[in-house]
A and B are shown apart, each in its own frame.
Chain A
Amino acid sequence: MENYLDIANSSFLAIMGGMVFVFILLQSALFLRKAWNRGIESGMDKAKLKGAIRQSTIFSIIPSLPILISLIAMAPVLGIYFPWIRLSVVGSAVYELMAADVGAKSMGITGLGGEGYTAAVFANSMWLMSLGIVWGLLMVLFFLKRIQGTISKAKSKDAGWVPVLIAALFAGLLSVFLGDTIAASLLQLLTGSEGDIGLGLPVILVSSGAMGVFGWLITKFKINWLKDFALSFSMIIAMASAVLISL
C-alpha cells in the first residue's frame, strides 16, 4: 500500500489546488466586476466603490494570517495541498481537522496520521472534509431567492424596521464574541479566584482603545487615509500588547 503522504504531497494534488485557486479568483473577479458595473451604471460615486475594494483588501490581510498558521499545523498530517484546497473554500481550520478526524474514526482508526492511517483512510478524510460542510452552499443555491424575497416583503411593509433588524443581527454576533472573552476575566475578578485572568480582556481593552483614538484622529484632523488602516492598526497594537504582556 502506498504511503498516503506520497499522495497528499503529489503534484497531482498540487494541480488540483491550482485549479481551485484559479476558480476562486475568477469567481470573485466576476462578482466584483458585475457589482462595480452596476454601481457605476446606477450613478454611485466611483471613489466609494474603490474605497470599499481598498478597505476590504487592507483589512483582510491580518485575519488571513491565522489561516496560514492552521495550514502549517495541518501539513505534517494531511500534506500541504489538500489543506490548501480546503482552507481556500468553505470551512475553517477547526472544522477541517474535526472532519479529517471523523474520517479516520469512521474507518476504525484512532486518529489522524496514526497507526493504520492508510491511503484509503486518507481518502475517507478527504471526502468527509469536502462534503461535510457543503450544506450552507446548498441552502444558498436553493433558498437564497426565497430568503431575499422575505426581506423585501418585510421592507415594503415597514421600511424602518429592516435596518434595525440587520443591526440587531450584527449586535448579536458582536455580543457573543466580546461577551465570551470578557466573561472569563470578569468572573475571575469578581470571585477573586486565583490564576491568570487571561489575555482576552486586556486585548479587547487595548484594541477598542486604539480604535477609539484612531476614530478621534480621523474626525478631528480629517485624516481620511487612516480609515482604511484603523482596524488593522488597532489589531496589530492589541496583538503586540498580548505578546508584551506574556513576555
Chain B
Amino acid sequence: MKTFPLSLLKPTTMPEVQEAVLYAAPGIGDTTRVRPVAGRSKTALHHAGDGVVVDLAGLTGITEYQADECTFTALAGTPVAEIERRLAEHGQSLPFEPPLAGRGATIGGTVASGLNGPGRYHHGGVRDFLIGAKFVDGEGRLIRGGGKVVKNAAGFYLHHLLLGSLGRLAIFVELTFKVFPTPRAERTLRVACASLGDALAALDRVRRSTTDPDAVELTPEGAVIVRIAGAADAIDARAEGLAAILGHDRATVVEPPASLSPVDAAAWWTGSRDFAWVSGPLAKVAVTPSRIHALDAALARAGASRRYGAGGEVAWVGWPGAWAELDALLLEHGLSGVALIGPAPADPMLGVRPDDAFLSRVRQTIDPRGTFRG
C-alpha cells in the first residue's frame, strides 16, 4: 500500500493530474479521496475529509484563442480574470460573467461549480457557452467530451454531466468555450419599489416585455436593477422605453427609474459578481420568479442577507447560521441550493438533492471506485 508524502499535490500538466488521481484512487493507490481545488474562491466546496487535495492552480494558461472563431481553450487552473483580459483585447467576453472573478476564481472551478453571473439572464449560462472539455476520471483516464466547434451533435455530452458536479465526479483539466462580442454600449437603470412584491411585479413586466435586457437583479428592499446593452446609437431610446416599463405602476414606485452613472453601474455589477455585499457565508439557491416571495420571507425571518439575480432565477443568500439550518429551510420550500463560501460541509448541496436514479449511473461510469466521492 502506498503512503502519501504530501496531502497536497500540485500538478502542472495533464499527465501529472492523471498521476495524482492514480496515486490516491481507492484500490489503485490508497483508499482515500481526491479533492480538486485551484483559486480557492469557493471555500465551502473544499471539504478535504481524509482526502488528498489536488491543487490545479499550476495547470494554467490559455492554450488556443482565435478571435475570428469566437472560441478559446484554457487549462483548468487559468484565472477567469486573465481570460477576460485577453478576450477584452479583441472586444469579446464570456457573456455569463463568471462569478468571483475578482476573488481568484478559475475557469475550471467555474465549470465544476456551474456558476453564472448577471449575464446569465439574457445570453445563457456556463452550460450554454462550454463547448468541450477534457477531464480526468476516477480511474485516472484522460477523456474528452464535446469539441472545439460551436455546434456538435456527435457522441454523448460527457462534459455536461460533470458541469456543476463540484469536483465530485472528475477533475476538469482543459475547457473550450464559445464567446460573444462585447456589446458596444450599455446602460444600467434602477427603480426602487415600495416592497419586494412591487419589485416582483416590475420584474414580471420586464421579463415579458420585448426590451431585451441582458441582466436583471432584485434586492429584498424592492429595488430592480436592469442593464441593457447593444448599439450605442440606440441606448438612449431603449433606456426611455425600459424606464416606462419599470415605472409603469407609479403608486408602487418610491424612487423613479433612473440611469446609474457609468462608475456606479460598474460598481454594482462588479459587486454583484464578486459578492461584495456579503461578508460571511454565501449560498446559491435555484429559484424561479414565482418562488421568490415565499422564500424571501423565510430568509428574512432567519436573518439572512440576499439578492436575486438572472432575472429572478437565482437567489444568493448570505447565511448567518449553520448550513444544516439552511438545508432544512430549503427542503421545506422544495428548493435546491449549494454552499459556496464559508465553512466546508462534507456535502455542500443544500435542500432538495438531485434525483440519484440517473446520477448514480453517471457516477458508476465516471468514478466507479469513488475516488472523488463526497
* A and B held together in a complex: no
A→B interface (CB under 8 Å): none
Residues of B participating in the A interface, judged by any CB pair closer than 8 Å: none
